[in-house]
Structure 1
Amino acid sequence: MGDDAAKYHALFDRMAQGAFFQSADGALTDVNPAALEMFGLTRDEFLGRTSMNPDWRVIAEDGSELPPELHPSMVALKSGRPVLDFVAGVFNPQKRHFCWFNLNAIPMFHPGESSPYQVFVTMHDISCHKRLNDIHLSRINLMQYADAHTLEELMVEALDEVERLTESSIGFYHLFDAASKSVELRAWSTNTLQRFCGIEDRDRHYSIDQAGVWVDCLHLGKATIYNDYERLRHRKGLPAGHAPVVRILVMPVKRNGEVVAILGVGNKATDYTEADVRTVTLFADLTWDVAQQKQMQNRLLAKTEELKQANEFLEQRVSQRTADLQAAIRERESFSYSVSHDLRAPLRHISSYSSILIEEYGQALPYEARTYLDRMRGAANQMGALIDHLLELSKVARAPILPEPVDLSAAAAAILQMLQETEPHRLVCQEVEPGLTVHGDAHLINQLLGNLLGNAWKYTSKTPFPRIAVGKSTVSGEEAFFVTDNGAGFDMSYRGKLFKPFERLHGSEFDGMGIGLATSHQIVERHGGRIWGEGTVGKGATFYFTLGG
């Protein structure tokens, strides 16, 4: 047993994925080196802590503070159920910023006991992926914001976004006139104006010879980082009321080879890096392009004679923005696949190492240890299935629609026959109204029927005299197709959860991932229709759908 424990700890310590154990009283009892590096803590600092320790700074995916009782490990300990694919940010004291993790908390039980005695938590660092996703979302939001706001509001909004993404507390955007070699002070972030900068005379032009080190990027023609402002020998000091400067990153905005503006951020808690330069570059260019567009619109609206030119220009800009948006969406999809791929590797490791332990050392392991390994392997397989279903849902959202006439009656009959063949011992009354036809994508409509009929088949499995029917009726003056059954049904007070991914209205008595109805909803929406359900607990359910004519 001593050798087995040593091998287990060697495996635990060498995992690339972070992992730790937390006991039922909330105390952290063991941790591997990968997790300590992710948290930025020593082993002595980590062990013995609880989730209630005030030194923890944890935030939810939306940036709000995450209370200790909602930490994945605490939820798993209290509920006795796994918490999977939970995203949270944890402050790393060594890096002095929040790192983002995807966490899974698996409760562990002694034989015969219903309350877990500890929880096993694994974690994967997704900080880089989340940063990339946040940048693309912010750019899309900024483009949408521009449509309904003034140029001044747009520039402030852009500075607020880039300030947030670079974790800075100062942000400014100033224009540069190459002919006069002067800089026009133009815009500041909300935070800069409200908390830091008290200069009254902001509407000023600076000759670049008079300005401070923030115009060095004009001389160098590229982004400039000063992470130790106080030690700069050529700094000229700050005017009265100016915010104190600790660090600064300034970026020249170029068009046709000429510098037209400067975007700067300052006073990040840690040093600026090349990653910050890339973020600032994206927003500097986008802000200039959108600002230029708004200025052009304002001028063209005042000149009726040039309306045609304005329309042509706007069409070009809309096309460009559409291309940008599509590129951003593709990058988000790529991000989703990348996360899924990165998650699969540690899952395979967990499953394969568990299998190796069972196959090679199963006879030497106590029954309790084999049970834990089986649970670990089962949890890994379940998460793999969740990833597959997420990708399936994403695929439906991207699949091209190829409309054609579809025989809905024939498709439904074929699906029911297939279901009957999988369970030939079941006697199910099947009724399919003849002559049902629709115009839509044959593959997606077959997938829609497969999901609805598959649910009906599943939820009538415990019904003495099961019945499933497919037909068409008029509901509130609207023609709609329906799939109905007399199975388990559902409580209508929960109908708002029917079409949300991974929301299930039944317990473990019926298997499933809770993705079928979400996929059906996507398919119907992509056809311009709608779908809804009606049900009664113990008396069955009916799902209606339209396909936009």
Structure 2
Amino acid sequence: MSTINYMQNQPLLVGHDRALFDAMPVAAIIDHNGIVVDVNRAWLEFGAQNNARTSGIGFNYFDVCESAKDECAQIAFDIAQGLRQVLSGESTQFDYEYPCHSPTQERWFNVRITPMMIEEARYALVMHQDVTRWKQTESALAESEMRYRLLAENVRDVISRHDIEGRFLYVSASCRAVLGYEPAELVGHDVHEFLHPEDRDNVWTEDDIATPITYRMRHADGHYVWMQTTMRPLSDPTTGKVCEMICVSRDITEQKRAEDALRQAHDELERRVEERTAELRDANEEVRRFAYIVSHDLRAPLINIQGFVSELRASLASVQDVLSVALPHLSDEQRQQLQTALDEDIPEAFDFIQSAVGRMDHFINAILKLSRLGRRELHIETIDLEELIESVLKSLAHQIVERNATIYLGELPTIRADRTAMEQILGNILNNAVLYLDPNRPGEIEVCIEQNERETIFRIKDNGVGIAEENKHKVFEPFRRAGNTNVPGEGMGLSYVQTLIRRHGGRIWFESKYGEGTEFIFTIKNNLTEDGYEL
């Protein structure tokens, strides 16, 4: 069969039919013998782009199909069979998708063959359409869907889709492990059917879209599982209205149990702390009351002793006057013994008694002072520490000069505390720092203060004699001296300091190396109320 050149033959379609034909994708009209009797503009352009030798009118479509080789042979055979079925009337339409890759890119085409009658003769309209972009989109969608399903089917969280009424449209396979249901058992059901009765009116509302929601959902075996769900709306692109919800739900039952256990433990701890605090407060009050009563009761006998000693001294003077008349009548030995008793032994005994009474009175005063410090109402006010510390140092100016000491002050902030208490605290610590400086070297005292959100930290460091290891346990004990006993004092200063610091919600400690110096560190709370309690 000879090939008829397109330029030597007229196209089959003309006029309006021609215009419609040229508007189609790559298309040709083939007669019952397989001869191409007409092609449209797209067919010619495709043939020119791909250097096809048989791109015009007159060639035999069946011959071209039969000459195909390699991977194209099966494709060509299938298309030829479809063309024969349409031309013979066995089929009214044949569709076939096939790859047609070029050296530079992958391409897919779809061929559609339909019968057409022209002047009572049966022809076949063959259209080849490039579906590469659609195929790529389809492939991308399939890959995306595969990844989505792979993710949805393998994650522990339950992924679900719901309509706006809350009905399940899709549920991932993880619902088996979390809720005990097969996905098919949930699809089509309203999520509210599975919610705990107390949660049905409170969750899965429009207000829940923005934030994760926590609720209880019924397990297949009847018990309830705590779930936390994050929702994301899907909107209809044409109306903009929300049409579906994508939900990711997680089983937080163990987390809720842990939270409940922690909350119960916290409540129990708070209760115990309150009970213990009340017990300690009562115990402290009893100790203060006991100290006050004991001190008061001890002072009365001391006053009596002091009074009787005075009376005895007066009586002794009367006795001496009477005995002065009798002395000449006594022997020398008797006179000497009596004189010694009256002039030395008895007055010396009176002096010892008065000295002991004086020391006991100092001790009682110290106990009373300590008791009052624990009971005195604090007056919290704003204090300029620079002004307060300078005032304290001014009162120690003479001792500082005597000890050849230099005072280094860091940045001094303002604080909220009881002014009288702070004067006593800083006065005692700075006084001790000066008193216990080493006389063999120039004294140095450094004051540093730091603040954080909760407390103010004071550091007062000296290069004095330091505290020996065996004496460190005595530092805060009442009536105990941890350093040079020749330094004046009753051993109560740091006991007072410790009590006042505790009243301010703080603590005190020290670091010391014998022969090198000591650093006292103490804190006070920042958030104290006017009555001295922490906010």
Q: What TM-score range do you get, normalising by the shorter chain?
A: 0.3 to 0.5
TM-score, length-normalised on structure 1? 0.37
- For the pair shown, the structure with the greater C-alpha radius of gyration is 2
Give the TM-score normalised by the residue count of structure 2.
Answer: 0.37
